Amino acid sequence: MRVVPRKAEGALPGAAAAGLAAAFELVFFYAPLDADQGFIQKIFYLHVPLAIVALSGFVAGGVMGLKYLRTRDPAWDMRSYVAIHLSLILAVGVLVTGSIWARGSWGHWWVWQEPTLVSFLIVFLLYCCYQPLRFSIEDRERQARYAAVFAVVAAAFVPLNFLAVRLAQAFSHPRVLSTTGGNMPGAMRLTFYVSLVAMALLWLALFKVEISSKRARIELKRLRREIESEAAVDPREPAMAA
């Protein structure tokens, strides 16, 4: 009777794989080359969706942390941790692709005058403190509480950082989420949106897989403890039976 849930669990990874395949096709066979930057501009379809999904994941982690503070349900603490953990991995990809794009476009691996890259680096370094803070506390309840407070405060910083970047004068990042759609033609805009949806589906699929893995590990530990406790209830019973 577990067939339907397993099919449902496979739907999200399948949608993510299909979205990534569609995005790949659009990036390399549909979207035109940029007149100024040429082929290197195509990294934009990976770099910017990665950044948006990573920042959204950080905010989601803060919301889940707030849920934990309100309910004290360990499940929300686990979800908050996984959301931030996955977003940190994506954030590394953002910084790497941003450096490659900067090298190809401006001739430097890093441009400190580019507010988008620098502000994202600040957010990344802020969240790099999350895991050291969390695992420096041995008591599980205090660990979850402090981690949730950190997640909420850091998540509040993310939109403020985004607004600061929007008010700054960027070098070349197109403002594709503005009311006018920035300076992108329709083919580029469609490719970007498909890439963004594909990256969001990938994040959700990875989130679901990691949550399922952690729940299975917790259940396995619980069953192991039960077996060990039952075996240690009365060690004299085998001798009496003999």
* pLDDT, tens only, 213-226: 888 887 887 787 77
pLDDT at position 80? 94
Residue 129: inside a domain: yes
Residue 225: inside a domain: no
Q: How far is it, in rounded angstroms, from Cα 204 to Cα 85? A: 13
Give the structural domain span for 135.
Answer: 15-207
Across residues 125-132, what is the average pLDDT?
Answer: 92
Confidence grade of residue 30 (pLDDT, cut at 50, 70, 90): confident
Q: How far is it, in rounded angstroms, from Cα 121 to Cα 119? A: 5
Residue 35: inside a domain: yes
Residue 235: inside a domain: no
Across residues 64-82, what is the average pLDDT?
Answer: 93
Residue 114: inside a domain: yes
Residue 231: inside a domain: no
pLDDT in tens, 143-178: 999 999 999 999 998 888 777 666 665 454 555 555
Residue 236: inside a domain: no
If 0-12 CB within 10 Å is exposed, 13-18 middle and 19+ buried, where does residue 132 land? Answer: exposed
Residue 84: inside a domain: yes
Of all residues in the chain, what percent carry a pLDDT higher than 90?
42
**Does the pLDDT of residue 3 top 50, yes or no?**
no
Question: How many structural domains compose the chain?
Answer: 1
Global confidence as pTM? 0.81
